[in-house]
Structure 1
Amino acid sequence: MQIQSKLPQVGTTIFTVMSQLANTHNAINLGQGFPDFMMDEALVEAVNQAMKDGFNQYAHTNGIPALREAIAEKVYYLYHTYINAETSITITPGGTYAIYTALTTILQPGDEVIVFEPAYDSYVPNIILNGATPVFIALEYPNYAIPWNEVAKKINNKTKAIVINSPHNPTGAVLTETDIQQLSNLVANTPIIIISDEVYEHLIFDGIMHQSMLRYPDLLERSFVIASFGKTYHCTGWKLGYCIAGEALMKEFRKVHQFNCFSCDTPKQYALASYLQGKNKYVQLCIEIQKKRDLFRSLMKETGFVYIPSHGSYFECYSYSKLSNKCDTAFAKELVETVGVAAIPVSAFYHNKTDEKVLRFCFAKKETTLQEAAKRLKYL
């Protein structure tokens, strides 16, 4: 029996390939974005207690009220924006799911969506699956800034949405106030919707303020804002996140959501509702993770890699042009096989495989892991 593939160009992702190679060669995996250190035991205990207390059946399809209210309180505390927890917040099984649902909510065949590359790998398949067309705009290497003049040229009457990601995966670039002003000017008096991927909102460094769509009423009214508990609390395997949008947008989002994932993990929602009251856990997170970035940078000075500054996320990109002329995919595989360190070739985040001889490393690891990885990389 044969079916016509909806994604004929899609194969095994580079993340799976590199992780399998890492396992085969017993390599240190700095490729896929997950911590190798333990999450807070207090949150683990809170989930255990919720299960013991009997919170093990279906939760409300929109998420338990206590968690949605805690999120609304957090948004007000951080961004001084009031969000209606009843009508504008939906709990989802991870940020990637929320992005897919937001795009599915708004897209019709023939629509166009502006995507900045390098781009997180789920955006383009999501767009194609909904019969729409991705319109690619390359970020300006090496700072990975948005070329707003180019964006203005690509907007037309088919443009349904713009996908924004800050802090950015894979590069760690972040939006500035100037970017926000440019974005606001471009979408004013248009029906363009913003898909704002902010799963690394609490992982932003160097004293920089996160430019969330939640800060700006004119942008928020046309945005789906995506967040992740997994990235914030070092529990990526939980696959829990949420989406915030205005009432009209969220009403349509929930129509799709209810038939795709009726509800999310109940005991974890109860645990997170209470855990969110500890504001320092997410406020101080940037300090904790920046220390890891800075440590990795200092260790990598003894190698031939040159860092491209990351101001957020789990990741920093490094140029290897002084070390090899090989394409980035071949060089990444060589690293695994010869020195036992896995990274992700940044060409994997471009539809046309643009190769700047750059690899992405995940520094959200234990100090000993980062030290051993850098030690191995010195012997290239």
Structure 2
Amino acid sequence: MEIFRNRIYFILLICLSIHTYGQDYKDFTLEESRKFHREFKNSMFIGGGEMSRYVYIHYSEFFPHTVITREDTIRELPIHLRKEVSNHLVTIDSQKKALHDYVYNSPTDGVIIIHKGQIVFEEYPRMLPTDKHIYFSVSKTFVSTLIAILEDRGMIDVSKPIEHYMPELKNSGWEGIPIIDILDMSSGIDCREKEEGAYYDPETCFQKFMAGFGFPNLENALENPVELLKTMKKYELNGKKMDYTSVNTWLLGWLIERVSGKSVSDMMATEIWQKMGAESDALMLTGTQAHAATPLGINSNLRDLGRFGLLFTPSGKQAPYDIISDNYLEKIQHGGRPEIYANGYWPNLFKDKTVIKHNTYQWDHITQEGDFFKAGIGGQGLYISPSRDLVIAFFGTHDETMTENLMPMIARQLTISGLFDE
């Protein structure tokens, strides 16, 4: 009976979402779908425009994937839409614009704002509420959360060097690097995401790494991408600065599998997705030898990304959803190293005078008041303010000029606007 009630609730939830929030958006036609399939090339996965948007919400049609399964118990998200949030004026290039108007006139696919456990704003200008959208780098926070869960169980000590758990990395560039430096994007490993040619030169380390996930140069993929890790060298001392590269996250995924004996997808399903009360299965992009694309590969609907964010807030950390330990939250908010962020290249995506205190555990920005944010290429993002009991999650797609939405900046403006202080 409980399973039946939850399924009925899920059906009603989806119907309400489509009726209330779908507005004038219509899904791609069959003709458009076939056209995109005919014209698709792997190198276009972040090329911008309608092709990219189609791929971003239909990734499973183009790339291998595994399923991150949900359970029958769904966490309810009460709807309490607030006009003052929708009409709030945000500042864009010195111009004022209502939040609703910006969302519908920008390369934003969907936005959800959850305050005190209730949905107060939700719009889908360029996707359906049921679409499973690619997270890109927002996926990284699920990896770090699994590391934290294993830490809490005494199965991982992040102060130990990576070869303590993976002896095959001895005599490689990874030897001697503590896991915390890998978590904080300060490994100093020479497979840099920001080096010249990283996104288009098939001979760079980063492109060879990405080829292991099937794009954009599948012909250069190693049969076993783990072998590529063994060849990597340091270009500078670890623990000195934030130098963002997805290779760090992939290694953390391998660490999770080594310690747990389970696939990353299974760990995400049993330790996070099912326990947080997801309403739909998620997908994980996989590459050669079924290695999960942990740095970028999660796909889900927007509400379930919001449910993940809720786990870090006061209203969301209540039983039976108390997955995030106080210890992990303390590490995010207060355990980072400001000098690593200060010495790195990472820009302030809020584009204001907000003081970014540090980065840590794959989160890009942690502010003075303990808010934290993670961005993904193309316009994905997750902003969490535990002190305000607030979650802002969004999806996007580059437009034809490769312009992303400004939702990171807008999320920060909304957070400090006073709308959510009570």
TM category, shorter: under 0.3
Normalised by the size of structure 2, how large is the TM-score? Answer: 0.25
Q: Answer 1 or 2: which has greater helix percent.
A: 1
Q: Which TM-score applies when normalising by structure 1?
A: 0.27
